[in-house]
Structure 1
Amino acid sequence: MARRMFELVEPIGVIPYSADEPNEAMFALGFTNYWDTYFAGRAAPLGIVPAEVVDALFYNFAPGEVARHIPKVWRTTTPAAAIAARQSGCANALQRILGDHVGSPAFARAAELLTRAATSAPVEGRPMYAALRALPIPDDVVARLFHAASLLREHRGDGHIAALMIEGIGGLEAHVLLALNLGMPAERFGRIHHLPQAQLAAVIDGMRDRGLIGDDGGLSDLGGAVKQRVEARTDDLAARPYESLSPDELHELMAALEPLASLLLAASD
């Protein structure tokens, strides 16, 4: 259930990174590059905190990457302005892509049920989720759907980091694990391909020394088992919000989200 909900909610939650309108709204604040908008938009609910805090919570950036943007971005705008711009840009993108669905009763019901689920889970041990939960729920139905999806995305992300830590997988190692699980050389994976060759080689060598990577450069049996356990535990930890809904409500929510997810996935291709 949690995996299926992830598949349906994730296309909404990633709209800041898959559509133009959110970036345009953030650029209007004075930013000039994408990664400034990423860190300002996602870190804004935390308020103005040191780079070390953002680095710890985001987990999977190379040393020094976060510090190139935090706290510099707060010389350009404020957390409150970044939150508002991100929200309005994402709502505009959803309205454009989803069209007439936005005004339907099914959309309003999806926003209601998703928001109830997204605001029902405990915040203990979920720092990114807790920060986002502290923000007001938007009145606009489209912004509310995005906000709910963002809450669920950060809730799942907090749990995913816990699952990685249990298995002893570091932030950069998580990218290597995912790349190899997809059958892609780590050196070509989007989130780490830019790293200095020696730095990435050291990460890969360390995973090979621990038996996670085989002689052929792919995941070993142990590496594959670790990846499976991480994903299974992430799903288990992501299930709590949906326990607030009855089976009928959950079925109704899935049915309402399916056409929206299909349109969003098609728009991102």
Structure 2
Amino acid sequence: MIRTLFRSLEAVHAMIYFAPEADARYASAGLDRPGGYFASRAAALGAVGAEVVIATFYNFNPAIVRACIPQAWEKVSPQRMLELRWEAADEALAKVLPDDLKEINELAKRAAERSKEMPHGRTLFAANAALPWPDEPRLQLFHAQTLLREFRGDGHLAALLRHNVTGIEALVLHAATGDMPADVLRKTRAWSEEQWAATLEDLRKRGLVGEDQLLTEKGRELRQGIEDDTDHMAAPAYDVLSDQEKQRFVELASPLSKAVLEAGMVPGRR
């Protein structure tokens, strides 16, 4: 149920990483697409250096991060990046979300506020949790899911560390499920073909991936353990909701994510 709750609203947040409204605003600040991504997502942390972004984002090639951060802060302040992100999210979501978001906002905000009571060990989440709530209903929903997403995401990193899985290994294991093309995962995180191939070969030697580049039974067990740990660590955010409220959350959120996906706002997902 925890994963269902998360996924039911995830597209409302995820669209910001692909929105042309965001790209245009970041470009106006002098940032290319990678620079805009790293600066906008890291902005809540302040003008941090590359190593902080490498650590908190986890699965990106450090070279691409160092090519963008801290140079981005010489062009635009973290506060301005946050403002640009809010503006882009509001404009993009206005195209697909209904005006009446009162009930889902109440449920999502309660879960998000609950998560704010548990910031320990969740650096990127805690930085976003310190931001004030916006007034616009669409942005309130966006912010609530941002908090729930980063709360879960930081827990996911803890799960990867617990299972001794590096960032690029996590990507190769994801590709080995067959759920997403390896090239998409590799290119979007800026890993070279050589780095990917070397990691794949190492995972083969460890018995986690087969010759068909798909997970072995051992690999499936490892990945399931990571996902189960992630769900377990994300669950406390939703414990403020009753079982009936959780079901209502999914009922209200799912059509909103569906509207985002059907509008093509998250590439590769419908």
Aligned pairs for 1:122-161 (under 5 A) are 122-161=118-157
- Residue matched to 2:20: 20
Q: 2:107 matched to 1:113? A: yes
- Tell whether 2:58 aligns with 1:59: yes
Give the Cα–Cα distance (whole angstroms) in 1 for the partners of residues 15 and 122 of structure 2: 22
Q: Distance in 2 between matches of 1:8 and 1:76?
A: 36
C-alpha offsets along residues 158-194 of structure 1, whole Å, 9 cap, x if unaligned?
A: 01111111111100011100011026663x2333475
Residues 248 and 39 from structure 1, CA distance in 2 versus in 1: closer, same or farther, beyond 3 angstroms? same
The offset of 1:95, in angstroms, is 0.8
Deviation digits for residues 58-100 of structure 1 (CA, Å, limit 9, x no counterpart): 10011322111110110110000000110111111111122xx
| CA deviations over 1:194-216 (Å, ceiling 9, x no partner) | 53332222211221222111233
Q: What secondary structure sits across from 1:64 in the alignment?
A: helix
In the alignment, residue 30 of structure 1 is paired with which amino acid? G
Distance (whole Å) between structure 1 residues aligned to residue 186 and residue 112 of structure 2: 28
**Greater shift in the superposed pair: 190-199 or 244-253:** 190-199
CA distance in 2, matches of 1:39, 1:241: 26
In structure 1, list runs of 5 or more residues that go unmatched: none
215-224 vs 41-50, greater mean Cα deviation: 215-224
Match 1:244 to one of 240, 244, 259: 240
Amino acid at match of 2:29: L
Change (3 A) 1:266 1:185: closer
2:253 aligned with 1:254: no
Change (3 A) 1:147 1:183: closer
Query: 1:83 is matched with which residue?
Result: 82
SS at match of 2:111: helix
Deviations 1:200-248 (A, max 9, x none): 2221122122211123332211111111111121111111111112233
How do residues 208-219 of structure 1 correspond to structure 2 at under 5 angstroms? 208-219=204-215
Distance 1:175 1:192 in 2: 11
- Cα separation, 1, equivalents of 2:69 and 2:7: 31
Contact 1:16/1:23 (CA < 8 Å) preserved in 2? no
Q: Map 1:163-178 to 2 at 5 A.
A: 163-178=159-174
Q: Is the 8 A contact 1:11 1:265 kept in 2?
A: yes
SS of 2:138's equivalent in the other structure is helix
Aligned position for 1:44:
43
What is the TM-score with the length of structure 1 in the denominator? 0.92
Q: Which deviates more from structure 2 when the two are superposed, residues 212-221 or residues 146-155?
A: 212-221
Q: Is the contact made by 2:30 and 2:75 (CA closer than 8 Å) also made in structure 1?
A: yes
- Quick one: distance in 1 between partners of 2:84 and 2:211? 48
The answer (yes or no) to whether the contact 2:43–2:82 under 8 Å persists in 1 is yes
Amino acid aligned to 1:89 = A
Range with bigger deviation, 69-78 or 237-246: 237-246
Identity %: 39
Over 3 Å counting, the alpha-carbon distance change for 1:24 and 1:192 in structure 2 is closer
For the Cα contact (< 8 Å) 1:88–1:143, is it kept in 2?
A: no
Look up the equivalent residue of 1:144 and give its one-letter code.
Q
Contact 1:207–1:213 (CA<8 Å) still a contact in 2?
Answer: yes
Between the two proteins, the alignment pairs up a number of residues equal to 262
* TM-score, with structure 2 as normaliser: 0.91
Q: Which amino acid aligns with 2:17?
A: Y
Give the Cα–Cα distance (whole angstroms) in 1 for the partners of residues 52 and 82 of structure 2.
19
Residue pair 1:183, 1:218 contacting (<8 A) in 2 also: no
